[in-house]
Structure 1
Amino acid sequence: MTHSEELNFEAAAERLKNIVKHTPLIHSQRLSEKYSCNVYLKREDLQVVRSYKLRGAYNMISTLHAIELSKGVVCASAGNHAQGFAYSCNKLGVKGVIFMPEITPRQKIRQTEMFGSGSVEIILVGDTFDDCLKEALAYTAAHGMKFIPPFDDYRIIEGQGTVGVEIFEDLPDIDIAIIPVGGGGLSAGAGTYLKQKNSAIEIIGVEPMGAPSMTRALQERKPVLLESINRFIDGAAVKCVGQLTYAICKDVLDDIILIPEGKVCTTILKLYDEDAIVAEPAGALSVAALDLIKDRLKGKNVVCVVSGGNNDIDRMGEIKELSLLYEGLKHYFIVRFPQRPGALKLFVNNVLGPNDDITRFEFIKKTERERGPALVGIELKSADDYESLLQRMQENHFDCIEVNQDQTLFEYLV
């Protein structure tokens, strides 16, 4: 059987029609003018559980046999899959067990409990998702239950594909769909459906630069387990894509783009400030990609899937910091102050530009306060001011090390 014979998106849409919201496809005037095309945002951040993950979880659980349902279902997730799974268990009256890493923020646990509304038990185990997954699979086998994976199952892919069903229904003359890629369920499902409707539709996958699992899989022609990943864009940071999702994506994706984490942070802030949209990091990936492919967009109908809006407010400080670093507006230095009176005053008056701000200042050695090396964070108004700042440091005889240029030093000090 071919992949497309295994996937019945219309049947999935029918199962989901009274469960999920048909989320709006909103025309963005700001982005359309910026890129000289028609940009539409598929707002899965407005879904019942604030992400598309409900679609796959409900579609799979609702197709299980009564005997399987009576034994209960299990999943492993610290994020959107857990919430979609919990909501599905509640709606279907099924007992669910959710494994989450012990480090999962309380806010995510509370959200999952709320959507489960008494139907789910949460077990916190292990420091990483991989530890948690191992325990979940062992528990599933020991109790004869059914495991609901986050992406690598035809019923999950089919459910996520209903995002594509809705997009095509609302915009049949779509030219380009930009879809975030984590494990590959959404891009495999929505991409397949859109290609079935019109093979000329361009499907562009978007991954975080720090977790290029689908990119590597496509390069090596098989799923590859990455040794380490940057987990910042948590909704799309997986070490290995699925066997099924890879097999589908290699045929469906016309291109895949890697986006730096800092670029995603800038996009999150712009969506919030200029469009009043709260997007989680994975949800902002598709919009962040527009800058990198702007030459291919002119005059086209472009859909960016905003895959989720579960952004923890506690992360906003980190998001702003990463954005400033990426844009070249924030720099950290180790500055060795000359051992003479007034050195600090000289630095403030002669080295800092009129629009530069010191955002952090601390002497590194506890015994050499007021002289010796200091960690100094400086925020600029424009990235172009950086070279002149360095020049003024030299002219005024301040020895400095650019901490931003040394990843190990940066992680240790900042």
Structure 2
Amino acid sequence: MKYFPTIENIKKAAINIQQVVDVTPLSSSLRLSKQYEASISLKREDLQSVRSYKIRGAFNKISSLSAEERAKGVVCASAGNHAQGVAYACKHLGIKGTIYMPAVTPKQKVEQTKLFGESWVTIVLEGDTFDDSYKAAKEYCESQNKSFIHPFDDPKIIEGQGTVGLEILNQTKKPIDYIFVPVGGGGLASGLIGVLKSMSPNTKIIGVEPEGAPSMKTSIDNTINTELKNIDKFVDGAAVKRVGDYTFAICKDNLHKMVTVAEGKVCQTILDLYNRDAIVVEPAGALTIAALDIFADELKGKNVVCIISGSNNDIARTAEIKERALLFGKLKHYFIVRFPQRPGALKEFVAEILGPSDDITHFEYSKKSNKENAPAVVGIELKSPSDLEPLVKRMKENNFFGEYLNDKPDLFQYLV
């Protein structure tokens, strides 16, 4: 598809959206700069008016509609952040909107969408993934002859997102060596490319997406836009089965590298940002920082920018985030423990099998009616990954070991 975002159109978008968009800070990170021996700054789109950059593209697109198109209303599909941007734009411009969101969208994002759109928007929860919602939204949109506001694959959307790049260049006096950008459908990365290719061509742009939804990386590797059959929906702001045709064409030739990071690593990054920097981010917002260590050697002495794309996280997800982080860090382990049929076996397990810093965090008998002879599913949190091998050895030597569940995903999902 023959389209590339021009710097002229991105500058027009910047003027167009300034009535609703905040110029977000570009803040130096002392912790990350020290850790990677580089100058690392964070573009804080988590502090945007709707707590993500998505308002930029949404407002730029909707405000470009004709009076006739506005009167008919708009439709969009979104995992959450684009929905909030569309809702905000609809209310500001006085346009009716119908917003389709996956049924699994965090409640916090649904409530925020209602808050920003008020009576101007109707929310429809449909399907398990963005792609399910997208299909339903497109069918409704065509049947009602309304305008569809695509979350990423639209020139006006791409140009609106590109204004993030303009701000970054205006906020730093030093040449930027690397910019890390989160990739879901590719709209932000494509807009950023439009700016940097014109104004900072030596900057290396690194795209980052979740390991469980590598739609852009897979497409680039295959040299054709490829739809994934299954994805991990945890990083909901960046979990799509298929990237856009416009965005793929732009990104495949202009990203320096496209990498993925494990969801568990994203979770640990979320916890680190909260505990050490007092920054609240959603999973997609942590992608760029989670990828830094992949390039640790390259970054030394360089000027680096990480885009934090959003902060629309639901506190109800905290337990899952901590769990995934511990599993990724090899600190949380699940076993089927077969207690020997002898008196005091459970007491022996706690006193003699567990190490001094091991902690039982999950315990459930598999048979409620015959606990004395039943195996149990036991979750154990360790202080160090190196504590696992001696723990397993003690369990086997004393006939407690049944099965290790962490490396049996089907059994793990069923039992835990």
* Superposition TM-score, scaled by structure 1 size: 0.97
1:35 equivalenced with 2:36 (yes/no): yes
User: Aligned equivalents of 1:161 and 1:224: distance in 2?
Assistant: 24
Residue 275 of structure 1 deviates from its aligned partner by 0.4
User: Aligned equivalents of 2:209 and 2:103: distance in 1?
Assistant: 26
CA deviation string 1:124-153 (max 9, x = no partner) = 334443333222212212222110000001
Letter in 2 for 1:318: E
User: Aligned equivalents of 2:127 and 2:242: distance in 1?
Assistant: 19
For structure 2, the 5+ residue unaligned runs are none
CA 1:106–1:323 in 2, change beyond 3 Å: closer, same or farther? closer
User: Aligned equivalents of 2:126 and 2:281: distance in 1?
Assistant: 28
CA deviation string 1:294-342 (max 9, x = no partner) = 1110000100000000000000000000000000111000011111112
Where do 1:267-278 residues align within 5 Å?
Answer: 267-278=269-280
SS at match of 1:397: coil
1:324 equivalenced with 2:322 (yes/no): no
Letter in 1 for 2:303: N
Partner of 1:62: 63
Count of residues in correspondence between the two structures: 414
SS at match of 1:401: strand
Partner of 2:102: 101
Q: Which moved more, 1:67-76 or 1:32-41?
A: 67-76
Residue 18 of structure 1 deviates from its aligned partner by 2.0
Partner of 1:23: 24
Partner of 2:306: 304
Partner of 2:403: 401
The 8 Å contact of residues 363 and 370 in structure 1, kept in 2 or not, is answered as: no
Where do 1:47-196 residues align within 5 Å?
Answer: 47-172=48-173, 173-196=175-198
Residue 279 of structure 1 deviates from its aligned partner by 0.5
Letter in 2 for 1:287: I
CA deviation string 1:337-383 (max 9, x = no partner) = 11111211211111111100011112112343023311111001111
User: Aligned equivalents of 1:290 and 1:6: distance in 2?
Assistant: 28
CA deviation string 1:95-130 (max 9, x = no partner) = 111122344444322211110132212233344433
Q: Which moved more, 1:356-365 or 1:101-110?
A: 101-110
Letter in 2 for 1:281: P
Letter in 2 for 1:44: E
CA deviation string 1:153-183 (max 9, x = no partner) = 1110100111111111112411100000000
The 8 Å contact of residues 355 and 381 in structure 1, kept in 2 or not, is answered as: yes
Q: How high is the sequence identity, in percent, across the aligned residues?
A: 57
User: Aligned equivalents of 2:8 and 2:397: distance in 1?
Assistant: 67
CA 1:176–1:298 in 2, change beyond 3 Å: closer, same or farther? same
The 8 Å contact of residues 74 and 147 in structure 1, kept in 2 or not, is answered as: yes
User: Aligned equivalents of 2:365 and 2:8: distance in 1?
Assistant: 61
CA 1:33–1:105 in 2, change beyond 3 Å: closer, same or farther? closer
CA deviation string 1:60-85 (max 9, x = no partner) = 11111222112111111230010000
User: Aligned equivalents of 1:370 and 1:25: distance in 2?
Assistant: 60
Letter in 1 for 2:92: K
Letter in 1 for 2:329: E
Residue 231 of structure 1 deviates from its aligned partner by 0.2
The 8 Å contact of residues 350 and 396 in structure 1, kept in 2 or not, is answered as: no
Partner of 2:394: 392
Q: Which of structure 1's runs of 4+ aligned residues deviate more than 4 A?
A: none
Letter in 2 for 1:269: L
Letter in 2 for 1:135: A
User: Aligned equivalents of 1:30 and 1:232: distance in 2?
Assistant: 27
The 8 Å contact of residues 182 and 207 in structure 1, kept in 2 or not, is answered as: yes
